[in-house]
Amino acid sequence: MLNYTTFGTAGAAKPLLIAHGLFGSARNWGVIAKRLSDRGQVIAVDMRNHAHSFWDDDHSYPALAGDLAQVIEEIGGPVDVLGHSMGGKTAMVLAATRPDLVHKLIVADIAPVGYSHTQMGPIEAMRRVDFTHVERRSDVLEQLTGLEAGVPEFIAQSVDVAGKAWRLNLDVLAAEMEKTIGFPQVQGQFDGAVLFLSGANSDYVKPEHRSLIKPLFPNAKYAKIPGAGHWLHAEKPREFEAAVRVFLDS
């Protein structure tokens, strides 16, 4: 089973399960999870091949969705589910194929489509890191070159300094990259409440995607956070938290 961190205790609200994006971890969501735990229990998972969860050669979305289903069955469902990017795609597959496990769904800055971009740049940068003289996380940051602003700091959170290694299965994430940037054919539908919450400065969710979203999620609603890009929860955490609260409590 996936490693997960629980915040808060059971309350009147449904538990909220949070699934992070590529190269992320439950730890990335700690502040938001803790703040949202005032309304009920929040469970943040480490996805397979990330952080403290198991490694596996299969990094397909049906497999990832199966991991979330296992956690929900363990804690007792249905639950509300929030997924960002890769985690959002995983959450969509889960909701469409196992609607019995999902109460409400929030998809953060991603659509059920394939994208043309790749995330091999960060993987190649991580592979170039020489851990021989790494004594602290800053030693890794100095070696992460050629990446967009903010990316080195983000992926450096997945460094195991003591073990002098990455807590990411780089080989499998590279081999399965086409699946990660793609989206599988899904047979199913989720009729519950869904919010596609995007950054206003991001182009990951476009108006033309709505015709693909509607057959899977006929009750989908859309909202944008001004001044935020793809990393909307990190760039505008308070606004993101507020939008999540309004949707879940409505």
Q: At what angle do helices 86-97 and 61-75 cross, to 10 degrees?
A: 70
Q: Which residue has the tokens 């699946």?
A: 179
Whether 230 is catalytic: yes
Count the Cβ atoms, other than its own, within 10 Å of residue 146: 11
Count the Cβ atoms, other than its own, within 10 Å of residue 169: 19
Q: Which residue has the tokens 């538990």?
A: 15
Could you report how far apart the first and last alpha carbons of the chain are, in Å? 32
Q: Are strands 159-160 and 79-84 parallel, antiparallel or unpaired?
A: unpaired
Catalytic residue among 50, 103, 230, 233: 230
Does residue 106 sit in helix, strand or coil? Answer: strand
Count the Cβ atoms, other than its own, within 10 Å of residue 76: 9
Catalytic residue among 25, 37, 53, 85: 85
Beta strands in the chain (DSSP E): 4-7, 16-19, 42-45, 79-84, 102-108, 159-160, 165-166, 193-199, 220-225
Please check whether residue 157 is in contact with residue 23, taking contact to mean a CB–CB distance below 8 angstroms. no
Amino acid identity of residue 25, one-letter, is S
Catalytic residue among 57, 58, 130, 171: 171
Whether 58 is catalytic: no
Whether 139 is catalytic: no
| Residues noted as catalytic | 85, 171, 230
